[in-house]
Amino acid sequence: MFSGASAINLDTKGRIAIPKRYREPLHACHNSQLVITVDIQSSCLLLYPIQEWEKVAAKLALLSDTQPTERAIKRMLLGYAHECELDGNGRMLLPTPLRQYANLDKRAMLVGQLNKFELWDEAAWQQQIEQSRLAILNEDLAANERLADFSL
């Protein structure tokens, strides 16, 4: 499971290097294969190890092609999905349309989200963190059934 936020850079070819601490698990458990797609609710990318993506794809297959919102979700996630493999140096190329979607240029943040990573433009990540902090502060956590018993 992936956690933590890592500052990374895009090189001039549009490649990122996955931090070393994630490379061995990705190689051993997922044969260094990932699928990158867009996040449908934020301006970031989602990086799934191949087995985790297969679970998402199975859920997408159950969505309707005639219901507009379901079809739109399938179109976005599958239309942008790109399979890739880490090279020997732990790098992967981000296709131009994906870089454009997330406004990725040079500095980025790779954020572990248990079964996947989010990839953010560094400035957008800082804004997202502040928005998340304010949302939590303004929420009555005890009134939220799923968070009422959540403690750290």
Domain presence at residue 31: yes
- pLDDT of 139 higher than 90: no
In a domain, 150, yes or no: no
User: In this structure, is residue 38 part of a structural domain?
Assistant: yes
- The answer as to whether 55 is a domain residue is yes
What is the rounded distance in angstroms from the CA atom of residue 100 to the CA atom of residue 96?
Answer: 6
Q: How far apart are CA 59 and CA 71, in angstroms?
A: 13
Determine how many CB atoms are found less than 10 A away from the CB of residue 121: 22
Q: What is the mean pLDDT of residues 3-28?
A: 95
Q: Supply the pLDDT for residue 112.
A: 97
Distance CA 52, CA 64 (A): 21
Residue 144 within any structural domain of the chain: no
Number of domains in the chain: 1
pTM comes to 0.93
Where residue 18 sits, what CATH number does that domain have?
3.40.1550.20
Does 140 reside within a domain? no
Establish if 97 belongs to a structural domain: yes
Give the pLDDT of residue 152: 79
Plot region of 55 (φ>0 → left; ψ -120 to 50 → alpha; else → beta): alpha
Binned at pLDDT 50, 70 and 90, residue 89 comes out as: very high
Please indicate, yes or no, if residue 143 is contained in any of the structural domains.
no
Containing domain of residue 117, as a range? 2-122
Mean pLDDT to the nearest integer, 124-144 = 92
Cα 100 to Cα 103: distance, rounded to the nearest angstrom: 5
pLDDT tens, position by position, 28-82:
888 999 999 999 999 999 999 999 999 999 999 999 999 999 999 999 999 999 9
**For residue 88, which phi and psi values (nearest 5 degrees)?**
-60, -20
